[in-house]
């Protein structure tokens, strides 16, 4: 999407350095509502940093990021953006070990003003959506790698985000499990109308997305369908 | 939900942290109970023999070391505001198996001795006789006709008395003349207990006596009794210092534990931030864990302080001097200190959380 007007996500001239090392340099990007894009590039190209900036996990040194037309670092604390607008899936599932699958899915819902019964009901429903209703009371240590990542996906969509950000979501999975997780992410995009941005070095994901953006040394060098 | 879960998932750390706090709180509770016990003991010292006040030598480190001239009693008795006055000679650590027992040398005709309620044996005190308080008699398994050794001299137990005053019931009474011979102080007494005439207040009498009899101090309230003893003041100050040290050491311990926990759990805390928990909310979680573990420790500490304090007094055999008194305020202060340790210990890690960068925390670095 080249026209930023009406875009779900707009990245305007964003730069970011970590110490003396430039991670991103003057990057601009617009992602439409319900669009699914893949950001690819080698390790260290800045793709995870770009995702972190879009999700409000990092603040840009220059430029700005807008979600639904509003800059995320000026309107409210980005924690609220992460709670209300964005869902994250990472390469590592980052589930909380002592909590069951269901309790992990409930974590983002704590403080959302829901009654415990409603919170449990919603978490159970999310686990059903990712095909893990029968694993609700299992601890992460009792789940396979693919199951843990699906729980992480359920957690990411718990607050019904308009934007789903996935950073190497299949990086730690075998090929069969990777396919299932990708099926799930793109299926959720289709069913829930979520905007999906996936960071991956795996070029095989490209055909699933509406667009692929390639980063090299912190700059967008290629953008194509 | 998260606070209790997090504490349960690290049972050893939770137990050790709580144990550290428990020891601190127990120490504080025990010391406060001893302070209160000292105050209670002082209160009983104030009203020995049911008197309104006691006259002691001024500026002594301990009221029991006071010395007054024997002539003072007659001069006091002549004052219009004094209804009755009788001298006492106190002997401490005079009964070897019960070092806490105080032996009172009293005039048999004075109101102190007359007020004793004899529950066994007879009241009359001959030169070699002694009366035992019922608590002391029970402790030493003595009855009328038995023998009690005081300062190495045997005395025949003439009777057993009860007054209802712990200090007196845990001690013994002999004739003042016998006590003077035993201590080698033929013309001195430790203090004079005074009953005031009906129209006189203790405060008025205190002013009059201290003005008219220089070198004396009057004790009519427990607070005055505590102030009169430099030793009690010293103990009170020492207890204050120990309470503050316990607070500081406890807070440092909890801070270190919580800081280590924070470092270990950076990924987890970063995740909470990622899913939309605000810094304040995560800091509240950390602080809440600190307070919860402190409450746990404080609860055990209260129990330990009560049981341990009582046990200590029994083992040391000092029940006649001080009996731990566990007031609601002492227990409340122990609990407050426990919670304060949790709050102080959780502040630094909680502050670190508010400065945490989620992406960095997620990587666990």
E strand or H helix that includes residue B86: strand B82-91
DSSP B115: T
pLDDT of residue A137: 94
DSSP string, B137-167: HHHHT--TT-EEEETTEEEEEEEEEE-S-HH
Q: Which of B8, B274, B278 sits opposite A57 (nearest CB)?
A: B274
Average pLDDT estimate for B234-257: 72
Q: Which of A79, A108, A159 sits opposite B279 (nearest CB)?
A: A79
Chain B residues within 8 A of A120 when measuring between CB atoms: none
- pLDDT top residue among A146 and B330: A146
Q: In angstroms, rounded to a whole number, what is the distance separating the alpha carbons of residues B354 and B297?
A: 27
> Above 60 in pLDDT, residue A1?
no
Chain A residues within 8 A of B289 when measuring between CB atoms: none
Instruction: Please name the residues between 107 and 166 in chain A that touch chain B, using a CB distance below 8 Å.
Output: 107-108, 110-111, 155, 158-159
Q: In angstroms, rounded to a whole number, what is the distance separating the alpha carbons of residues A24 and A62?
A: 10
DSSP B193: E
Residue B26: phi and psi, rounded to 5, are: -60, -40
Please judge whether A111 and B8 are an interchain contact, meaning their C-beta atoms are less than 8 angstroms apart. no
Q: Is the Cβ–Cβ distance between A184 and A89 less than 8 Å? A: no
User: What is the average pLDDT value for chain B, to the nearest integer?
Assistant: 84
Average pLDDT estimate for B13-41: 79
Helix, strand, or coil (residue B330): helix
Give the pairing type, strands B53-57 and B216-219.
antiparallel
Q: Does the structure's ipTM exceed the value 0.95?
A: no
Please judge whether A108 and B275 are an interchain contact, meaning their C-beta atoms are less than 8 angstroms apart. yes
Task: Indicate the range of A161-175, A191-205, B40-54, B142-156 predicted with least confidence.
Answer: B40-54
Paired tokens of A33: 């509502």
Paired tokens of B209: 């006596």
Q: What pTM value is reported for the model?
A: 0.64
Q: HEC profile for chain B?
A: CHHHHHHHHCHHHHHHHHHHHHHHHHHHHHHHHHHHHHHHHHHHHHCHHHCCEEEEECCCCCHHHCCEECCHHHHHHCCCCEEEEEEEEEECCCCCCCCCCCEEEECCCCHHHHCCEEEEECCCCCCCEEEEEHHHHHHHCCCCCCEEEECCEEEEEEEEEECCCHHHHCCEEEEHHHHHHHHCCCCEECEEEEEECCCCCHHHHHHHHHHHCCCEEEECCHHHHHHHCHHHHHHHHHHHHHHHHHHHHHHHHHHHHHHHHHHHCHHHHHHHHHCCCCHHHHHHHHHHHHHHHHHHHHHHHHHHHHHHHHHHHHHHCCCCCCCCCCCHHHHHHHHHHHHHHHHHHHHHHHHHHHCCCHHHHHCCC
For residue A154, give how far its alpha carbon lies from the nearest alpha carbon of chain B (Å): 12
Using the Cβ of B244 and the Cβ atoms of chain A, whether some distance falls under 8 Å is answered with: no
Please judge whether B357 and A58 are an interchain contact, meaning their C-beta atoms are less than 8 angstroms apart. yes
pLDDT of residue B311: 86
The per-residue pLDDT for range B114-125, each reduced to its tens digit, is 999 999 999 999
Task: Indicate the range of A219-223, B64-68, B225-229, B322-326 predicted with least confidence.
Answer: B225-229
> Above 70 in pLDDT, residue A39?
yes
Q: Which of B6, B267, B276 sits opposite A80 (nearest CB)?
A: B276
Q: In angstroms, rounded to a whole number, what is the distance separating the alpha carbons of residues A107 and A99?
A: 9
Query: What residues pair up with B68 in beta bridges, in sequence order?
Result: B189
Using the Cβ of A221 and the Cβ atoms of chain B, whether some distance falls under 8 Å is answered with: no
Where along chain B do its domains lie?
2-41+232-362, 53-219
Average pLDDT estimate for B79-91: 93
Please judge whether B274 and A84 are an interchain contact, meaning their C-beta atoms are less than 8 angstroms apart. no
Using the Cβ of B275 and the Cβ atoms of chain A, whether some distance falls under 8 Å is answered with: yes
Helix, strand, coil share (%) of chain A residues, nearest 5? 35, 25, 35
Interface mutation target, options B268, B273, B275, chain A, most CBs of A under 10 Å? B275
Average pLDDT estimate for A77-81: 76
Instruction: Please name the residues between 63 and 102 in chain A that touch chain B, using a CB distance below 8 Å.
Output: 77, 79-80, 82-84, 88, 90, 94, 96-99
Using the Cβ of A42 and the Cβ atoms of chain B, whether some distance falls under 8 Å is answered with: no
For residue B272, give how far its alpha carbon lies from the nearest alpha carbon of chain A (Å): 8
pLDDT of residue A28: 94
* Residue whose tokens read 């004790």: B219
Please judge whether B9 and A79 are an interchain contact, meaning their C-beta atoms are less than 8 angstroms apart. no
Average pLDDT estimate for B293-312: 88
Chain A / chain B CB contacts < 8 angstroms: 58
Name every residue whose Cβ is closer than 8 Å to that of residue A75 and which is 6 or more positions away in sequence.
none
Task: Indicate the range of A82-91, B187-196, B255-264, B283-292 predicted with least confidence.
Answer: B255-264
> Above 60 in pLDDT, residue A128?
yes
Paired tokens of B262: 């924070």
> Above 90 in pLDDT, residue B75?
yes
Return the top range by mean pLDDT from A134-143, A188-197, B58-67.
A134-143
**Nearest partner of B347 among B231, B253, B258, judged by Cα:** B258
Residues of chain B with pLDDT > 70, as a percent, come to 91
pLDDT of residue B340: 82
Please judge whether A58 and B359 are an interchain contact, meaning their C-beta atoms are less than 8 angstroms apart. yes
Q: Is the Cβ–Cβ distance between A66 and A12 less than 8 Å? A: yes
pLDDT of residue B76: 93
């Amino acid at each position: 999407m080249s026209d930023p007007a009406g875009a779900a996500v707009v990245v305007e001239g964003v730069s970011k350095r970590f110490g003396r090392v430039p991670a991103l340099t003057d990057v601009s990007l617009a992602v439409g509502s319900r669009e699914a894009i893949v950001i690819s590039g080698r390790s260290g190209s800045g793709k995870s940093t770009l995702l972190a900036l879009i999700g409000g996990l990092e603040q840009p040194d220059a430029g700005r990021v807008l979600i639904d037309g509003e800059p995320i670092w000026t309107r409210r604390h980005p924690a609220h953006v992460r709670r209300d607008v964005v869902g994250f899936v990472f390469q590592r599932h980052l589930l909380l070990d002592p909590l069951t699958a269901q309790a992990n899915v409930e974590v983002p819902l704590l403080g959302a003003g829901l009654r415990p019964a409603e919170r449990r009901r919603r978490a159970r429903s999310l686990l059903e959506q990712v095909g893990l209703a029968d694993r609700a009371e299992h601890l992460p240590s009792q789940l396979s790698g693919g199951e843990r990542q699906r729980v992480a996906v359920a957690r990411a969509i718990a607050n019904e985000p308009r934007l789903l950000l996935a950073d190497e979501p299949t990086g730690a999975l075998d090929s069969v499990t990777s396919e299932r997780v990708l099926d799930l992410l793109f299926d959720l995009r289709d069913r829930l109308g979520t905007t999906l941005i996936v960071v991956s070095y795996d070029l095989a994901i490209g055909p699933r997305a509406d667009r692929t953006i390639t980063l090299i040394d912190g700059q967008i060098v290629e953008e194509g369908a | 939900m998260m606070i209790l879960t997090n504490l349960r998932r690290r049972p050893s750390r939770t137990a050790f942290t709580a144990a550290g706090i428990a020891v601190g709180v127990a120490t504080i509770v025990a010391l406060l109970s001893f302070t209160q016990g000292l105050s209670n003991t002082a209160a009983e010292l104030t009203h020995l023999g049911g008197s309104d006040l006691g006259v002691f030598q001024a500026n002594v480190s301990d009221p029991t070391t006071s010395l007054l001239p024997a002539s003072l009693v007659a001069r006091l008795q002549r004052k219009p505001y004094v209804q009755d006055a009788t001298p006492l000679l106190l002997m401490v650590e005079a009964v070897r198996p019960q070092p806490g027992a105080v032996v009172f040398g009293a005039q048999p005709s004075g109101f102190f001795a007359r007020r004793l309620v004899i529950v066994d044996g007879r009241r009359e005190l001959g030169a070699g006789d002694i009366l035992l308080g019922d608590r002391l008699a029970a402790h030493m398994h003595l009855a009328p006709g038995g023998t009690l050794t005081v300062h190495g001299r045997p005395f025949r137990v003439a009777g057993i008395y009860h007054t209802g005053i712990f200090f007196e019931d845990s001690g013994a009474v002999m004739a003042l003349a016998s006590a003077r011979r035993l201590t080698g102080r033929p013309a001195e007494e430790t203090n004079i207990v005074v009953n005031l005439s009906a129209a006189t207040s203790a405060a008025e009498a205190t002013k009059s006596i201290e003005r008219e009899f220089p070198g004396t101090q009057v004790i009519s309230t427990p607070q005055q009794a505590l102030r009169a003893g430099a030793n009690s003041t010293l103990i009170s100050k020492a207890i204050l210092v120990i309470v503050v040290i316990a607070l500081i050491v406890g807070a440092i311990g909890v801070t270190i534990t919580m800081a280590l926990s924070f470092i270990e759990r950076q990924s987890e805390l970063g995740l909470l931030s990622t899913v939309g928990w605000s810094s304040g909310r995560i800091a509240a979680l950390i602080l809440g864990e600190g307070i919860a573990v402190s409450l746990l420790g404080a609860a055990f500490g209260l129990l330990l302080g009560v049981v341990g304090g009582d046990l200590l007094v029994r083992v040391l055999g000092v029940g006649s001097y001080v009996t731990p008194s566990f007031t609601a305020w002492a227990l409340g202060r122990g609990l407050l200190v426990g919670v304060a340790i949790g709050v102080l210990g959780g502040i630094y890690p909680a502050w670190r959380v508010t400065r945490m960068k989620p992406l960095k925390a997620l990587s666990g670095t």
